[in-house]
Amino acid sequence: MSDYQLLCFAQSGNAYRAALMLNLIGANWKAVWVDFFGKAVQRSAEWRGDVNEMGEAPVLIDGPKKLSQSGVILTYLARKSGKFLPQGEDEELEALRWIIFDNQKVNGFLGPFRFLKNFAKPAGDPAVMGFLKGRIDGNLAIVNKRLERAPFLLGSRPTIADISMCAYLYYPAEEFGFDIRKDYPAIATFLDRVKALPGWAHPYDLMPGYPFGTQLLNGKPTV
């Protein structure tokens, strides 16, 4: 029996943070598919009553615990495993600073942009897409500048801040319509460093639900 269950779906960068962390720490875990785009179970009264009142995925289940919000899940897993854990108050605060910046300003704009481009019907209004793209460019430039100084956000070793930051950055460039690796060289080398960590896997291989209509995990149907 798995120690952890992660309620997730392959297209979610927020879920990918948690799934990647579980894999990187070598946890015994099981991905449980959430039909986010079809039945939209996360909007149901049952989900909001029994799983997550916020109506969102991912949700990490650890025995009686049900944890939501990827930053909370990363912190919990880091503390429990002792891996990718910021050391001392200064590092904890710095990691939190970058996690919040990422959630609000980096993936906080990349996620909606990608959703409106690929999944929303109708697709996003061009004016809205232009606004989001402008914010994305400015915020990725901040991250790129930071990563020109050190291999990882907090310095020489990876922490949960890095696992948070890469949430949407491994999805295919065609899903964004621009190439983050090409436009931001320091981010590209950072992504290569994270990819080299034992246990790394692509979101479409790590979580079920890609492509649409089939629950796939590691290339095999899960239905």
- Mind listing the pLDDT tens digit for each residue in 81-92? 999 999 999 999
What pLDDT score does 55 carry? 64
Label residue 41 by pLDDT band (50, 70, 90): confident
- Whether the Cβ atoms of residue 77 and residue 58 lie closer than 8 Å to each other: no
Nearest to 33 by CA among 210, 209, 219: 209
User: What are the structure tokens assigned to 116, written together?
Assistant: 């409106």
With a pLDDT cut of 70, the percent of the chain lying above it is: 92
List, as own/partner pairs, every contact residues 65-72 make where C-beta atoms lie below 8 angstroms and the sequence separation is at least 24, other chains included.
Answer: 70/14, 70/15, 70/17, 70/18, 70/103, 70/164, 70/167, 71/96, 71/99, 71/100, 71/103, 71/160, 71/164
Strand, coil or helix: 65: strand
Between vectors from CA 62 to CA 46 and to CA 3, what angle results, nearest 5°?
Answer: 125
Task: Answer yes or no: is pLDDT of 171 > 90.
Answer: yes
**Residue ranges per structural domain of the chain:** 4-83+201-221, 88-195
- Residue 192 neighbours by CB distance under 10 Å: 10
Task: Answer yes or no: is pLDDT of 68 > 60.
Answer: yes
What pLDDT score does 51 carry? 73
- Mind listing the pLDDT tens digit for each residue in 198-214? 999 999 999 998 876 55
Domain covering 88-195: architecture: Up-down Bundle (1.20)
Where are the extended beta strands (E) located within 44-171?
Answer: 59-62, 65-68
Mean pLDDT score of the chain: 90
CA distance 223 to 211: 13
- Identify the DSSP state of 106: I
Provide the whole-model pTM.
0.90
What pLDDT score does 222 carry? 40
Task: Answer yes or no: is pLDDT of 26 > 90.
Answer: yes
What pLDDT score does 223 carry? 32
Task: Answer yes or no: is pLDDT of 11 > 70.
Answer: yes
Nearest to 118 by CA among 37, 191, 181, 58: 37
Alpha-carbon dihedral sign for residues 33, 200, 167, 1: positive
Choosing among 3.40.30.10, 3.90.226.10, 3.30.980.10, 3.30.43.10, the CATH entry for 4-83+201-221 is 3.40.30.10
